Each structure stands twice: as structure tokens, then as C-alpha cells.
């Protein structure tokens, strides 16, 4: 027997997949996770891509980018973008008030911000439609100004503003809370006035969270259906959103057409997911 002390340093064998962990249950839980994830999410998503792929490229393009589909994308993406921008502005203001100020019913306001997460979209849809219709409380108010909100693209923006509101508030709020007062005091002590402090110190620090909130609201708005269809008017080429077009194709048994539009929208969703991940990676790098 050789003396153990004389052993040369052992070449380290790298494990193929993972090192054994002291905490049990890894194989079982990961197996269950992957099995469910695959059957519920991944394989079905793959099915829609396959269905769209059964067509010739020309057919696919004709379905996915018909004039009517293009008008629908323009509305879905355009309205989602404007609504996300509206939310970015008012969401920031709301987050600012929630973090910095004391005011009556603050707890209630804080709780109600998440209403769009909790309220079924169809309920929001019919409520917004009757509120902003010409005979509704708000619709009647703006009618003398010549404005029409419900059953126009503007109505779509209103519905998406409802849906996206919590995203901006809830992403900006924690960052604003963590932004320590000394940073602002330091800026002030260096001679910055309040506006300079805001634009040069606070907003840059909030930027990643703000952009993330905007992107989340935008991504949610692109695919939103329930809250929109009641207020949109659903006129082809004018106020018809892309998800509705999928349903119409389905009702006409045009499965390939529905799949083509769905794949286009999925592509947009994945792109947004990628952008959001990029923003968050950027935010992490900035510490």
C-alpha cells in the first residue's frame, strides 16, 4: 500500500450534468417540472408552429400578413405601445406618490393598484365599455368636445391602460423605495437644484425598472383580449385587434390562418421577452 500522504494531486473529474446535492428530491422535482412544462406549455406551443409550418411560405405570408392582419397588428401593437407609454408616465407619478408622500386612504390606493391583476378581464371590458360609451359617465362628458372613446381605437388604448397599470407601478416602486435619501442629499449638497436632482440622479437610477415596467405592460397589451373586445368596436381594418382576428379565423375553420397569425404574435412575444431579459441584465450590471 502506498502512503496516502504521497498521493499526487488527483485530476479532478468533472461531473457530466450536475454535482450531487445534499438536499434530496432534485431528480424527482426536476423531472415533474420538466414533464408538466413540456406537456402543458412547450409541446402545445410547438404544435402551433408545426401547424403554421404545414403551409407553403407563400400561403403562410398571405395569412400572417394579409391587409386585414396588418391592420390588426398595427392596432394591437400601436395601442399597446401608447397605453404602455401612458402607464409609464402615470405609473411613475403613482409610484412616486406611494413611496414619497403620506395621504389619506394610502393603504386603499396601494391595494387597488393591483385591481387589474385580480379583476376578470371581461368584467373590466364591459365596465370600461359602458363607462366610456357615449351615454356613459365619462363618454357623455367628453362627447360635447367631439371626442368618441368607446368603439374606436382610443377605446382600445383605454382598456390596455387599465390592464397595464400595475406593471409600471410595481416595478418602479421598489427601486424608488431603495433609492436612498442620501443620494439626493449628496446631489443637493453638491449644488444641484431639485429638477437637476430629478433628471440627473433619480430618473437615471429608475430607468431600468421604468423600462422593464413599460416593456411588461406593452407585452401584456399586445396579446390582451377580454378587456378590449367589448370597448373596441371590432370593425375590420379599423378597430379589430390581432387576437380577435385569430378567433374569427377559428370560427371560420381556417386553422392554418389562425396558426399563422398566432405564430407571428408568438414571435413578437418572444422578442419582447428577450428585450425584457436584456433590460434586466443591463439593470443587474448597473448594480
Partner 1 sequence: MTISIQSVAKSFGRFPALNGVSLEIADGELLALLGPSGSGKTTLLRAIAGLEFPESGQILFDGQDMTQVSAADRRVGFVFQQYALFRHMSVARNIAFGLEVRKGADRPSKAAIQARVEELLKLVELDGLGGRYPSQLSGGQRQRVALARALAVDPSVLLLDEPFGALDATVRKSLRKELRRIHDATGVTTIFVTHDQEEALELADRVAILNLGVIQQVGTPSEVHDAPANAFVCGFVGEANRLEGEVRGGRFRSGDIELASPGVADGAATAFIRPHELTRAAAGAGAFALTVERITPQGPVLHVEGRTADGRRLEAAFARAGGLGFQPGDQVQVAVERAHIFSA
Partner 2 sequence: MSQRPANADSALVQGVVLAVMAAFLGLVLILPMATVFYEALRKGWAPALEAIQNPDAISAIKLTLITAAITVPFNAVFGVCAAWAVAKHEFPGKSFLITLIDLPFSVSPVVAGLIYVLIFGAQGWFGEWLIDHDIKIIFALPGIALATIFVTFPFVARELIPLMQEQGVDEEEAAVSLGASGLRTFWSVTAPNIRWGLLYGVLLCNARAMGEFGAVSVVSGHIRGLTNTMPLHVEILYNEYDFVGAFSVAALLCGLAIVTLALKTLLEILQPQTRRPGH
Among 10, 16, 28, 118, binds partner 1 (CB under 8 A): 10
Q: Do the beta carbons of residue 223 and residue 156 sit within 8 Å?
A: no
Query: For partner 1, which is the closer residue by CB, 11 or 195?
Result: 11
Nearest approach in angstroms of CB 10 to partner 1 is 4
Q: Does 181 bind partner 1 (CB under 8 A)?
A: no
Residue 154 interface partner, choices partner 2, partner 1, none, CB cut-off 5-8 Å depending on type: none
Q: Does 14 bind partner 1 (CB under 8 A)?
A: yes
Residue 10 interface partner, choices partner 1, partner 2, none, CB cut-off 5-8 Å depending on type: partner 1
What DSSP element (H or E) covers 6? none
Listing DSSP states for 172-198 in one string gives HHHHHHHS-HHHHHHHHHTT--HHHII
Pick out residues in 21-80 that bind partner 1 (CB under 8 A).
Answer: 22, 24
Nearest approach in angstroms of CB 3 to partner 2 is 32
Q: Does 108 bind partner 1 (CB under 8 A)?
A: no
Query: For partner 1, which is the closer residue by CB, 24 or 191?
Result: 24
Q: Does 19 bind partner 1 (CB under 8 A)?
A: yes
Q: State how far the alpha carbon of 242 is from the alpha carbons of 33, 46, 70, 268, in Å.
A: 32, 20, 9, 12
* Segment lying near partner 1 (by CB under 8 A), choices 12-20, 65-73, 100-108, 235-243: 12-20
Listing DSSP states for 192-236 in one string gives --HHHIIIIIIHHHHHHHHHHHHHHHHHHHHH--HHHHHHH---T
Q: State how far the alpha carbon of 133 is from the alpha carbons of 136, 157, 158, 192, 199, in Å.
A: 5, 14, 12, 48, 39
Among 1, 16, 17, 20, binds partner 1 (CB under 8 A): 20
DSSP 16: S
The Cα–Cα gap between 234 and 120 comes to 20
Residue 171 interface partner, choices partner 2, partner 1, none, CB cut-off 5-8 Å depending on type: partner 2
State the distance between the two ends of the chain, measured CA to CA, in whole angstroms. 55
Backbone φ/ψ region at 124: left (φ over 0), alpha (ψ -120 to 50), beta: alpha
Nearest approach in angstroms of CB 28 to partner 1 is 15
Residue 273 interface partner, choices partner 2, partner 1, none, CB cut-off 5-8 Å depending on type: partner 2
Q: Does 9 bind partner 1 (CB under 8 A)?
A: yes
For residue 47 the three cell numbers come to: 404544435
* Segment lying near partner 1 (by CB under 8 A), choices 3-11, 76-84, 88-96, 172-180: 3-11
- φ, ψ of residue 91 to 5 degrees: the values are -65, -40
Residues that bind partner 1 (CB under 8 A): 4-5, 7-15, 19-20, 22, 24
Amino acid at each position: 500500500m502506498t502512503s496516502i500522504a504521497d498521493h499526487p494531486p488527483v485530476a479532478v473529474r468533472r461531473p457530466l450534468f450536475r454535482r450531487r446535492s445534499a438536499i434530496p428530491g432534485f431528480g424527482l422535482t426536476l423531472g415533474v417540472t420538466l414533464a408538466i412544462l413540456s406537456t402543458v406549455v412547450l409541446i402545445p406551443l410547438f404544435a402551433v408552429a408545426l401547424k403554421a409550418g404545414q403551409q407553403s411560405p407563400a400561403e403562410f405570408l398571405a395569412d400572417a400578413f394579409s391587409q386585414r392582419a396588418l391592420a390588426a397588428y398595427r392596432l394591437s401593437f400601436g395601442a399597446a405601445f401608447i397605453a404602455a407609454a401612458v402607464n409609464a408616465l402615470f405609473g411613475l407619478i403613482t409610484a412616486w406618490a406611494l413611496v414619497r408622500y403620506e395621504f389619506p386612504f394610502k393603504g386603499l390606493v396601494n391595494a387597488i393598484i393591483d385591481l387589474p391583476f385580480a379583476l376578470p378581464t371581461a368584467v373590466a371590458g364591459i365596465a370600461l365599455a359602458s363607462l366610456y360609451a357615449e351615454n356613459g359617465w365619462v363618454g357623455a362628458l367628453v362627447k360635447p368636445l367631439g371626442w368618441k372613446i368607446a368603439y374606436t381605437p382610443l377605446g382600445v388604448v383605454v382598456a390596455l391602460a387599465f390592464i397595464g397599470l400595475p406593471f409600471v407601478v410595481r416595478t418602479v416602486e421598489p427601486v424608488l423605495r431603495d433609492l436612498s435619501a442620501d443620494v439626493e442629499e449628496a446631489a443637493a449638497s453638491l449644488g444641484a437644484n431639485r429638477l437637476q436632482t430629478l433628471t440627473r440622479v433619480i430618473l437615471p437610477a429608475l430607468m431600468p425598472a421604468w423600462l422593464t415596467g413599460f416593456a411588461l405592460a406593452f407585452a401584456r397589451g399586445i396579446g390582451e383580449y377580454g378587456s378590449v373586445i367589448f370597448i373596441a368596436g371590432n370593425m375590420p381594418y379599423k378597430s379589430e385587434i390581432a387576437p380577435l382576428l385569430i378567433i374569427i379565423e377559428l370560427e371560420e375553420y381556417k386553422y392554418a390562418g389562425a396558426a399563422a397569425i398566432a405564430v407571428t404574435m408568438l414571435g413578437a412575444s418572444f422578442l419582447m421577452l428577450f428585450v425584457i431579459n436584456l433590460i434586466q441584465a443591463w439593470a443587474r450590471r448597473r448594480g
